[in-house]
Amino acid sequence: MSKTVKRIMSVILAVVMLLGCTSAAFAAYGCNCGTSPLIVVSGMAAWPLVQDEGTENEKQVFAPDTESILKLVGEIAGPLALFAVNKDYNKLGDSLIPALKEILEPLACNADGSSKYNITTDIYPESMASYPEFANNTEFTANEPAVVREAVEKIGADHVYYFNYDWRLDPMEHAKELRKYVERAKEETGHDKVNLAGASMGGTIIASYLAMYGSDNIDNFTMLSSAFTGTTIVGNLFNGRLEINKEGLIRILKEVVGVEAVNILFDALDKAGVFDILVNFADSLFANLQDRIYDEVFQDTFITMPGIWDLIALEDYEDAKAYLLDPRTDAALIARIDNYHYNVQAKLPELLEEAMENGVKVNVVSHYNMQGVPITPSYNEQNDNVIDTKYTSGYAVCAYLDETLPEDYKQQNTVCKDATHNHISADRIIDASTCLLPEQTWFLKNQKHVGYMYHTELMDFILMLCLGDTQYTVDNTQQYSQFMEVDPKTGELSIIGAIGGEEPSEPETTTEVVESTETEPTETETEVTEPTDTEPVETETEEDTTEVTETETTETETQPSETVSVPDETQTEPTEEATEPDVGSSETALDEQTEETSNDNSQQTQAVDVGDSLIAIVPFGAACAALVLTVKRKRNKI
């Protein structure tokens, strides 16, 4: 080798070493961009679950692929036609149940909550700089991928990470993986802290992270339409409470599809009586086959999944365990899910307080005025199509859908202790004074679950919270308000405003000083910690807990919607850590109205004969099939 070549090689080697040292020095001395890296924690089923990926047996098991769905339809079409003649539910079940079990079996978990089969999903362990096909995908126009895409544009692909996971499994196990992402983001960007945004189920993982590792490495975390305090629908289903509501079914179909021409079709089908027949058939099917479906299908699939169990709110948790699990044979699973409920969910007030005392900025975004999945008695609760508003908000008091809080309703102030603060929405649907964080919880009306749209005012607001270097409150976010309405087509925000606070007792400037001070980050944290100190975290006696539990058990038997909008229901669970706010006096009237509506709907559906009219469902099935074939399924839908 000539001397010239050697010199050239030496120069190249020196340059490579210099660049390496520069990169290491950058990480060591930190990034001075002013914005901590963002890790977006996805929601449930953001990406498909795949069995035996990379082998000849590879198969998408959730959501079921088209082949599996068509196979199911083929297997049950004949038995359904025969049922229209013989009306024999058991024979129908003999065909339907094995077909359902075949589709769901790959999702099953072992007795300890670990995966029974080799199931994987897409993961992105490096920054978005390594995944330009993701970060720049123009099809990502809504949901978490859209949040990632726009965050990349704002702070750079090397500062944005996306955490995806197998939603069936334990969020506390996922928190261990999230910690690796946190450490990697710090090392690669040179920052000493990260921002976290938890969408939907992702909130349970952030809560688990706080319980396991604290908040020293977190600059800001935001709960986006999150299940961090539970969901009503899973609690109801895991307690065997099933009820299909026709009006709710039509409403959610219209909200989800959002196409006027299809909405007209739904109205026509309703006038033709198709929905009455469908709902009556489903009610009869559940009434006759519910035990078999639970025992032969759900018991070995969904009921084995700790991730689904951890979506149950404390108020329903113990009843669900008693209904579905055996203390002896299911001991390993019970230990796992108890750990989450009583060391994470029940301790949320103190976990949030500790984080804020540590200087962490905390934000909660909740949605309302949307129809929830109408298959349980909670069909008329405020929702975002998936999760109840009272849970995504951390226990707000909510009126039922299409109703308002009673005229004589007064702001509860169970957490916000300043009576002059206005925390009732001007449309009189929400009372935010009972939320875990009344000053840091925002409500978006008519907003779908995690449906944040790319390049909209809505997305600007979301990223303002997620990337904020100061603690925003509902009083210091300038052009934004605690209650806002979202235009579903444009993503524009309009102010709804707030009411409910009392006039100051002394009309002096001291009142203005108090209100102004509480918009500061430090004072906001202090205000939130006060109710935590006064709530019965450790002092509540077992007698008190037992007494309330017995009372709510009675209400459950007599009122189908006793859980609506009650922010303190987690206090009824057998744990001293539950610290949710007190129940508002308006709930009894709301429950009575719901019970009357539920009874009316039940009487209407019973008037339709199932067997003789089953053939009328055919047009409905054809319409749904046409809809499926004309609407393109996007992988980034929740």
What pLDDT score was predicted for residue 131? Answer: 98
pTM score above 0.85: no
What pLDDT score was predicted for residue 507? Answer: 43
What pLDDT score was predicted for residue 318? Answer: 98
Residue 351 CB: number of other CB atoms within 10 A? 24
Can you tell me the mean pLDDT for 23-30?
A: 48
Q: How many domains, the chain?
A: 1
Confidence at 1, pLDDT banded by 50, 70, 90: low
Segments in 196-245 forming alpha helices (H): 202-213, 232-237
Lowest mean pLDDT of 90-94, 405-409, 515-519, name the range: 515-519
| More reliable by pLDDT, 356 or 8 | 356
Confidence at 13, pLDDT banded by 50, 70, 90: low
Question: Of 389, 296, 300, 352, which Cα lies nearest the Cα of 96?
Answer: 296
Confidence at 630, pLDDT banded by 50, 70, 90: very low
In a domain? residue 252: no
CA of 84: how far to CAs of 75, 243, 277, 290, 624, in Å?
Answer: 16, 22, 12, 19, 20
Answer whether residue 405 shows pLDDT above 90.
yes
Confidence at 29, pLDDT banded by 50, 70, 90: low
Can you tell me the mean pLDDT for 291-295?
A: 94
Residue type, 237: L
Answer whether residue 556 shows pLDDT above 80.
no
CB neighbour list of residue 271: distance below 8 Å, 6 or more residues apart: none
What pLDDT score was predicted for residue 31? Answer: 86
Can you tell me the mean pLDDT for 381-389?
A: 98
Can you tell me the mean pLDDT for 461-471?
A: 96
Which residues, listed in sequence order, are joined to residue 363 by a DSSP beta bridge? 222
Give the whole-angstrom CA distance, residue 228 versus residue 220: 16
Confidence at 71, pLDDT banded by 50, 70, 90: confident
Backbone angles phi and psi of 191, in degrees to 5: -85, 155
Give the whole-angstrom CA distance, residue 157 versus residue 371: 36
Can you tell me the mean pLDDT for 272-291?
A: 95
Number of residues in the chain: 638
| More reliable by pLDDT, 552 or 440 | 440
CATH for 206: 3.40.50.1820
CA of 415: how far to CAs of 419, 421, 535, 538, in Å?
Answer: 11, 11, 9, 17
Confidence at 503, pLDDT banded by 50, 70, 90: low
CB neighbour list of residue 450: distance below 8 Å, 6 or more residues apart: 43, 143, 144, 199, 200, 224, 225, 638
In a domain? residue 492: no
What pLDDT score was predicted for residue 504? Answer: 55
Considering the chain, what is the average pLDDT of its residues? Answer: 82
Answer whether residue 238 shows pLDDT above 50.
yes
| More reliable by pLDDT, 158 or 1 | 158
Which residues, listed in sequence order, are joined to residue 115 by a DSSP beta bridge? 109
Give the whole-angstrom CA distance, residue 542 versus residue 540: 7
In a domain? residue 389: no
What pLDDT score was predicted for residue 289? Answer: 95
Confidence at 11, pLDDT banded by 50, 70, 90: low
Tens digit of each residue's pLDDT (9 = 90 or more) over 187-223: 999 999 999 999 999 999 999 999 999 999 999 999 9
Lowest mean pLDDT of 12-21, 336-345, 467-476, name the range: 12-21
Q: Are 394 and 436 in contact (CB under 8 A)?
A: yes
In a domain? residue 212: yes
In a domain? residue 174: yes
What pLDDT score was predicted for residue 7? Answer: 61
Answer whether residue 560 shows pLDDT above 60.
no
Tens digit of each residue's pLDDT (9 = 90 or more) over 562-602: 333 434 443 334 444 444 444 343 444 445 444 444 444 44
Question: Of 160, 177, 157, which Cα lies nearest the Cα of 169?
Answer: 177
What pLDDT score was predicted for residue 500? Answer: 79
Q: Which helix (H) or strand (E) holds 83?
A: helix 66-86
Tens digit of each residue's pLDDT (9 = 90 or more) over 335-370: 999 999 999 999 999 999 999 999 999 999 999 999
Confidence at 419, pLDDT banded by 50, 70, 90: confident
Residue type, 460: D
Residue 582 CB: number of other CB atoms within 10 A? 15
Can you tell me the mean pLDDT for 523-530?
A: 37
What pLDDT score was predicted for residue 104? Answer: 95
Q: Which domain holds residue 138?
A: 34-46+122-224
Coil, strand, or helix at residue 3? helix
Question: Of 152, 146, 145, which Cα lies nearest the Cα of 130?
Answer: 152
Residue type, 63: A
| More reliable by pLDDT, 422 or 17 | 422
Can you tell me the mean pLDDT for 385-392?
A: 98
Can you tell me the mean pLDDT for 298-318?
A: 97
| More reliable by pLDDT, 28 or 4 | 4
Q: Which helix (H) or strand (E) holds 352?
A: helix 348-357
What pLDDT score was predicted for residue 417? Answer: 85
In a domain? residue 157: yes
395 Rama sector, left if φ>0, alpha if ψ -120 to 50, beta otherwise: left
Give the whole-angstrom CA distance, residue 388 versus residue 422: 22
Answer whether residue 18 shows pLDDT above 60.
no
Tokens of 541: 């006696």
Beta strands per DSSP E along 375-502: 397-398, 424-425, 430-431, 441-445, 483-486, 493-495, 498-499
Q: Calculate the dihedral angle through the C-alpha atoms of 275, 281, 284, 285, rounding to the nearest 10 degrees.
A: -120
Using alpha carbons only, how large is the chain's radius of gyration in Å?
26
Answer whether residue 234 shows pLDDT above 50.
yes
Answer whether residue 423 shows pLDDT above 90.
yes
What pLDDT score was predicted for residue 65? Answer: 83
Query: Which string of b and e fits 154-185 if b means at least 16 CB within 10 Å?
Result: bbbbbbbbbbbbbbbbbbbbbbeebeebbebb
Confidence at 546, pLDDT banded by 50, 70, 90: very low
In a domain? residue 140: yes
Tens digit of each residue's pLDDT (9 = 90 or more) over 132-166: 999 999 999 999 999 999 999 999 999 999 999 99
Give the whole-angstrom CA distance, residue 128 versus residue 392: 28
Lowest mean pLDDT of 168-177, 270-279, 542-551, name the range: 542-551
Tens digit of each residue's pLDDT (9 = 90 or more) over 90-119: 999 999 999 999 999 999 999 999 999 999
Answer whether residue 530 shows pLDDT above 70.
no
Give the whole-angstrom CA distance, residue 40 versus residue 428: 33
Confidence at 70, pLDDT banded by 50, 70, 90: confident
Query: Which string of b and e fits 488-525 if b means at least 16 CB within 10 Å?
Result: beebebeebebebbeeeeeeeeeeeeeeeebbebebbb
In a domain? residue 146: yes
Q: Calculate the dihedral angle through the C-alpha atoms of 309, 311, 317, 319, rounding to the nearest 10 degrees.
A: -70
What pLDDT score was predicted for residue 330? Answer: 97
